A and B are shown apart, each in its own frame.
Chain A
Amino acid sequence: MKRELILALFVGLAGAGASYAQQVVEESTVERILSTAFPKASADWLSRLKGDETMQACSNRRDAPTAELARAIKVRERATLQYPVDGKLIGDWKRGEQLAQSGYGLRFTDYPVTQENGGNCYACHQLTKQEVS
């Protein structure tokens, strides 16, 4: 695994406040911190702490990738898309709303699993004008 240096000087990035990392924060330091922060986590859970290539790219650039990087991300992620096997792209919107409303799933209190995972969409998206949240 390639060791990556998280560049600390993001002076040019829009929206970023002051950067305190005059020293470069090495990935090894971050990994050490992460390894001691979650003593109850199983190996399966610990894998969540390491971002995949796309996440690392976004983290390094604080969500402002270069145009080239953005293109590479799009190409990479598009290849992982799985379309419905029956070819129907529009489904039951009521079911969709149920899934959008539900934040259940993947939290450490959601095990053992007692219901299907929701989409947790309302955490970030308004989706419909009726929804105050």
Chain B
Amino acid sequence: MNGIRRNVCAILLVASAAHGQQSTDAIERKLETYRSMMKADPWSNPGMLDVERGEALWKTRGGPMNVSLEGCDLGLGPREVDGAFALLPRYFADADRVLDVEARILWCMEKLQGFERAKLLTRPHPGSGMPVKDFGAIATYVAYRSNGQSFATAFSHPKEKEALALGEALFFRRSGPMDFACSTCHADTGKRIRLQLLPFFSKAAEAQRIVGEWPAYRVSTAHVMTMQHRIYDCLWQMRLPEVELGSDLSVALISYLVKQAEGGQINVPGLKR
């Protein structure tokens, strides 16, 4: 029965971890089998529940202003959702900032629907077992509407160029008590932390393959993880402070990752450990 298939694979995964003598290759094959079994049926990806939830949130009136988000301009004009994610992050004149999909949704939730920004920024990411928050579900829906398309942000506006350069500089910048930069772990092909493979973002081919899978459903925490949440979590592991949702820093890093992933296909929600 498919419902427990996932658990059989989880047991396989744990069993394989217990046999320390196994080679990395053998473990990778088992992990790949587990992953491909889960990917074989995209319909069954629990992240789809948040895609649908996000769609409902996008189309339903909400907030103190009691308006829907359909009037939100994601870069292609109000009401245009298809393909918008493939062109983010980008500069928005009304915000006078470069924004990624999550920061833009937050902006629209604040300016159009009247939600309080401070509340949106408080504990924005789900704990283990909790579903992704509303803005994250909406971001998953928006990204889903670009499935099959390739990342194609132009990075032509001066502020976009600045964000990109900053993102790259930050990616290689060491700080914190353990001297970590992003590049410390994402250092080369085939690196991993515990059983988690680390994409080598400096190599375009790997970025193209991986970046388009975010937001992704994370099996171990049973929720969708957005790119902002992923970066927040990385910085937590790097022993750095809590990075603010939608901050210039996070948007700069995402700009760098998306640029590296240029031409790579969007295929969300992904499925992660």
Contacts and interface: CB of A to CB of B under 8 A. Distances in A.
Any A–B CB pair closer than 8 Å: yes
Contacts of A21: 164-165, 168-169
Interface in A2-38: 6, 8, 15-23, 25, 29-30, 33-34, 36-38
B240 interface: yes
29 contacts: A8-B169, A17-B203, A17-B204, A20-B168, A20-B259, A25-B166, A25-B169, A30-B169, A36-B244, A37-B247, A37-B248, A38-B240, A39-B244, A40-B241, A41-B241, A46-B241, A48-B176, A48-B239, A48-B240, A58-B174, A106-B177, A106-B239, A123-B193, A132-B19, A132-B20, A132-B27, A133-B17, A133-B192, A133-B194
Contacts of A115: none
Contacts of B16: 132
Given A23-B165, A120-B178, A33 B194 contact: no
Contacts of B267: none
Given A37-B247, A108-B236, A23 B161 contact: yes
A36 B245 CA distance: 11
B66 interface: no
Contacts of A69: none
B216 to A, nearest CB: 21
A65 B103 CA distance: 37
Given A33-B170, A59-B172, A133-B195, A16 B202 contact: yes
Interface residues of B, number: 52
Contacts of B22: 132
A120 B239 CA distance: 11
A108 B165 contact: no
A6 B169 contact: yes
Contacts of B178: 106, 120
A13 B247 CA distance: 30
Nearest to A17: B202
A23 B168 CA distance: 12
Contacts, number: 137
Nearest to B158: A23
Chain A interface residue bracket vs B: 35 or more
Contact of A63 (B21, B168, B183, B248): B183
A130 interface: yes
A49 interface: yes
Given A37-B247, A48-B175, A59 B165 contact: no
Nearest to B17: A132
Contacts of A55: 174-175, 179
B140 interface: no
B242 A38 contact: yes
A17 B260 contact: yes
Interface string B173-191: 1111111010111001000
Given A30-B169, A132-B20, A50 B241 contact: no
A34 B244 CA distance: 11
Contacts of B239: 48, 106-107
Interface in B21-61: 21-22, 27
Nearest to A30: B169
A51 B244 contact: no
A18 B249 CA distance: 20
A33 B174 contact: no
